Structure 1
Amino acid sequence: MTAAETGRTLRTNRSAVAHWISGTPPAPTTVPVIVEALCRLLGRSLSAAEIGLAQLASDDLISWDADTLAALGELGRRDLDVERRQALAVAAYSLQALALPGDRWWAHRAEKSAHPSGANGRRVGRGDLEAVREMVAAFSRIDQRHGGGHARTAVVQYLITDVSNYLHGRFIDDHVRNDMFSAASELAYLAGWTAFDNSEHAVAQRYFVSALKLAAEANNPPTAGHALRGMAYQAVDLGHGAQAVGLIEAAMEGKRYSLASSRERSMFGAQLARSQAAAGRHKAAAAALARAESDLASDRSRTEEPGRLFIFGEADLTFQRAYTLRDFGDLHGAAREFRRSVRIRNSTAFARVHVVTLGELASLQVRQGAVEEACATWSRALDAMDGIQSARTRRVASDMRQALSPLRRRGIRAVAQLDNRAAAYLRDSV
C-alpha cells in the first residue's frame, strides 16, 4: 500500500479512526488500516499489540499468534480459489507484519517442537520426508529457470494437500517431525518467492510469515533465518530499507546465524549489506559485505548444507555487491560487479536472475551514457527471456522501453527493433 493509498483508505475509514482516537474500539476490519497508517507516519514497523489493538486484529493469515497450520491451509485455499484469490491479490503489503514477535513467542514455538501434540493422521516416516525434499528441490529449480509464473499453483496445491496431510500425521519420531516441518517451511518460502516474483506482494508476505512460523515450530533456527532473509529481500525491493535491515539482522541473531553453514551466513550478510546500503548506511553496508565475503571464503566444505543453498554462490554475492555499490553512488563499480556476475553465473540454471542482472547492468550503462552498449546488453536479456514467466523479467522489458523512449523518435533502426522485441515479450508473457 502506497502512502497515497493509505491516505485514501484512512479518509474512507475516518469515522473508525476518529472513534478509536476518542476511545471507542474500532471494528476488526479497520485495525489493519489504523496500524498501517501509523507505520507509514512513524516510518517504522508496528504491531497491533503495540498500540493496544491486538485482540481486534483480524487477519489470521499474517498473524503471529494464529495457528500455523490452520492459517497456512486457509491461505492456500484462498490462493487457489479464483474468486477468493482476487480479494487476496488486492490486499496490502503490510509494514506492521514486519514487527517481529519477541523472545517469548520463539520459546513457545520451540516448545511445540519438544512436545508435539498428538495426531490421528497417517503414519509419516523418513521416506515421506525424502519425497517432500525432492519435490521442493524440483520446484525450486523450475522457479530459478522459468520464473515464478511457472508451477506456482502446483507448489501451493502440493503444500496444502500432500504436505499438509503429512504435517497433521503421526510421525515415527520427533526428528522426522521437525525435519518435515522444516521441509514444509522451505516449500512455504518457495510459494512466497514465486508470488513475490509475480509481484503478488501481499500474498508473498503471508507465505513468508507461514514459512517462518513453520521453521520456528520445527525448532530450526537457520531455516527461520532463511525465511527472514526472504522477507528482507522483499522489503528492500519494495523500498523499505530500514525495515529490511531489521529483518535480516534478526536472521543473524543467535542460533539462526551460529548454526547456519558458512554459505548461508554469507547469504545473510550479503542481504544485510544491500539492505544497509538501501537505508543509506554505507559504513555498515561495507562492513556487512566484508563479513559476507569472509563467510563465503571460509573452508567449511565438509559441513552438510541444506539443499536450498544451491541458489547462492559467488555470482549471487557479486550480484548483491553490485546493488550495494549502486546505492553507494558508485555506478562504475556497480556495473563492473553486475558484469562479473553475468560472466560467472550459470545462465541456463539461473535464467531469471541472469535476465535481471543484465537489465540492471543495461540501466547503469544508460545512466553512464553508453547507449549502444546498453542496447547490446538489453538484446542479450531479451534473448534469455524465452520461456520465463516473471514480473521481474517483465520489469526489465518495461524499463527498457521507458529508457529507449527518447531515442525512438530519432528513427534509429536498432532501437526500434529492440523496442518491438520488448513490446512483444510484454504482450506474450502476461
Structure 2
Amino acid sequence: MPALHRRPKKPNQDLAKLLTESGMSRKSLAQRVNELTNGRTAYTHTSVGNWIAGMVPRDPTPALVAAVLEERLGRRVTVADIGMGEVQRPRKDIGLDFLRNPDDALRLAAEYWSTVDRRTLLTAGPFAITAYGSPVSRWLATPADPAVPRFGGQRVGRTDLDELWAAAEEARQWDSKFGGGNWHASSVVECLKQRAAPMLLGTYTESIGSELFTVTAELARVAAWSAFDMGHHDVAQRHFVQALRLARSSGNLQTGCYVLATMSLQAFLRGYITEAIDMAEGAYERAKHAAAPRVLAFAKLAAARAYGRAGDERAATAALTASENLIDSIRPGTPDPEWIGYLTHARISADAAEIFRDLENSAAALRWNQQADAMPPGVYTRAVGIRLAVVGTAHLQANDLDHGLATGTRALEILSQVRSARAQDYVRKFTNSLDPWRHESQVADFIQRSRLALAGV
C-alpha cells in the first residue's frame, strides 16, 4: 500500500526556505533520506517537490528530513522548523542558563538563538534581578574558558567573522539613531539565528573560534540592549546572559567586562542600585589588567551612574574621574577597539549631567552639559535627546522654567523620532518635574504635545 500523505492548507514555505539555505538539491535531500532508512524508501526529487507543495509524509520521514537539514546546516532543526509538526514553545527558562561546561554552553547558545524569534520574545515577562545571580558569580569566578579548536558543521573563516562584525556595527548605529524599536533590531536576532548560531557548532581554529565567540557576544549584547530599550526586560536578560557566557567562551576578559557593565546599566535603570554597583565594579576589577582603557572607562562610568542614583556623590565623582582618566591615558599604540569608539569625553559628560541631576546638583549638571554639546544628534539621536531631557529637568531643579521648558521642547522634538520606551521614560520624568507649574499655559501646552508625540511613537 503506498505511503499516505496529509495536505496542509498551504505550501510548505519553511521547508523550501531551509532547503535553499542548506544548498542541497531536491534530489540530494531525497537520496540522503533514503540512505538513513537503509534503502527502505525510494524518495526522489519529485517527492521533495510534493512536500514543498504541502504534502506531509508518514513518520518517521519528517524527523529524517529534519535530521538531514540539521546535518547540513550545522544547527538544530526540528520537525516544526520544516513545517511538518506542531511548533513547540521554548521552555520558560531558556537563555538564563550559564553552563560551566564549554561544549554544553555552545550547544545551548546555538539552541537558544535557533529557536527564539522576535514573536516569542515579545511574550516574555518582567525583569528579575535574581536571574543574574548565577551568571554574574560564575563569570566573576571564571571569566575565560581555554581556547580549543572545534570540528563540527560548516567551516568558519575570516570572511564569516567580518560579516558578523559588520552586522554588529550596523546594528549599533541604527540603535543609537533610531532606538531599540527600529525595524533593523529584528535583523540582529535574525543574524544570530541564521548566521551566528550555526557557526558556533561549526569547524574552526582556536583563534577563529575565540573571535567568533567575541563577535557573537557583541551581537547578543546589542540585541539585549535593543530589547531593554523597548522595555522588554526579561528578553534583554536572556540575551545578556548568553552574551556573557559567550564572552567567557571567547577567553576575552575585555568582552566580558563590557557585557557585564552593560548589564549593570539595566539593573540600575530598573531600580536595583546596589546590585548594579557590584556588577559594574566587579567587571572593572576582574578585567583591569586585561581590558583596553576605553572599555574599563565604560565600566567605571556605569558604576558612577549607579552611585549617583544611590545619592553617593563622593563615590560617583571618584568613579567619574576614574573614567575620564582612563580615556586620557589612551595614546598612539594603546589597545583601543573600534566598537567602543563612541565613548568619548563628550559622551562621559552627557552621562555626568544625568549623574548630577540625580544628585540634585543642578549647577554641576549644567556645567557638565556644556561639554556634551559636541555629540552630533544625527548620529546619537537617542543619547542627545535623553541628555536634553535630563538637562531640562536640571533647569527645573534650579527653578528656571523658561530654560527648562525650551530644553524639554528640543528633547521632545528629537525623541519623537526614535522608537524607545526608555526615551519615553525620560520625557515622562521631565513632564512630571513640570508639576509645580502645571497651571501655566505654556506648561499645559507642552504636556498636551508630549502626550500626542509619545502616543505616535
Same fold (TM over 0.5): yes
Percentage identity across paired residues of the two chains = 25
For 1:344, the equivalent position in structure 2 comes to 374
Q: State whether residues 140 and 282 of structure 2, in contact with CA within 8 Å, keep that contact through their aligned partners in structure 1.
A: no
- The offset of 1:395, in angstroms, is 1.6
Runs of 5+ in structure 1 lacking a partner?
1-56
Aligned to 1:418: 446
> 1:401–1:231: structure 2 CA closer, same or farther, 3 Å change rule?
same
Deviations 1:270-329 (A, max 9, x none): 222222333344433332222212111114232342232122111221123223333444
For 1:427 and 1:403, locate their aligned partners in 2 and report how far apart those are by CA, in whole Å: 20
1:232 to 258, 261, 264: 264
Residue 300 of structure 1: aligned partner: 331
Q: What is residue 333 of structure 1 aligned with on the other side?
A: 364
Match of 2:390 among 360, 366, 374: 360
- What do residues 34-93 of structure 1 show as CA deviations (whole Å, max 9, x unaligned)? xxxxxxxxxxxxxxxxxxxxxxx98342122274344445544665253x33442x2442
Letter in 1 for 2:105: T
Residue of 116, 125, 128 corresponding to 1:93:
128
Cα distance change, pair 417–245 in 1 and its aligned pair in 2 (3 A): same
Picking from 252, 276, 281, the partner of 1:249 is: 281
| Structure 1 residue 382 corresponds to structure 2 residue 412 | yes
Q: 1:103 to 1:388 in 2, by over 3 A?
A: closer
Deviations 1:325-350 (A, max 9, x none): 33444221123213432x12122110
Give the number of the structure whose residues are more often helix, by fraction. 1
Q: CA RMSD in A?
A: 2.4
- Residues 1:103 and 1:191: Cα distance change in structure 2 (over 3 Å): closer
Contact 1:397 1:425 in 2 (8 A): no
Counterpart Cα distance in 2 of 1:283 and 1:398: 28
The residue correspondences of 1:110-259 to structure 2 (distance < 5 A) are: 110-111=145-146, 114-119=147-152, 121-150=153-182, 151-171=184-204, 173-254=205-286, 256-259=287-290
Task: Report the AA paired with residue 418 of structure 1.
Answer: F
Q: Return the alpha-carbon distance in structure 1 between the equivalents of residues 357 and 430 of structure 2.
A: 18
Q: How does 1:238-317 map to 2 (within 5 A)?
A: 238-254=270-286, 256-317=287-348
* Residue ranges of structure 2 left out of the alignment (5+ in a row): 1-90
Q: What is the Cα deviation at residue 101 of structure 1?
A: 2.7
**Partner AA of 1:169 in structure 2:** G
**TM-score, with structure 1 as normaliser:** 0.77
- SS of the residue 1:216 aligns to: helix
Q: 1:395 aligns with which of 422, 425, 428?
A: 425
Distance between the aligned counterparts of 1:326 and 1:273, measured in 2?
Answer: 13
CA distance in 2, matches of 1:292, 1:406: 36
Report the Cα distance in structure 2 between the residues aligned to 1:179 and 1:210, rounded to whole angstroms. 16
How many residue pairs end up in the alignment?
362
Sort the Cα spacing of 1:418 and 1:301 in 2 relative to 1 into closer, same or farther, 3 A. Answer: farther
Shift of 1:186: 0.4
Instruction: Note if contact 2:129-2:267 (Cα within 8 Å) is conserved in structure 1.
Output: no
Alpha-carbon distance in 1 for matches of 2:417, 2:357: 29
Residues in 1 aligned to 2:139 and 2:290: alpha-carbon distance in whole angstroms: 18
2:288 maps to a residue whose letter is Y
- Equivalent position SS for 2:377: coil
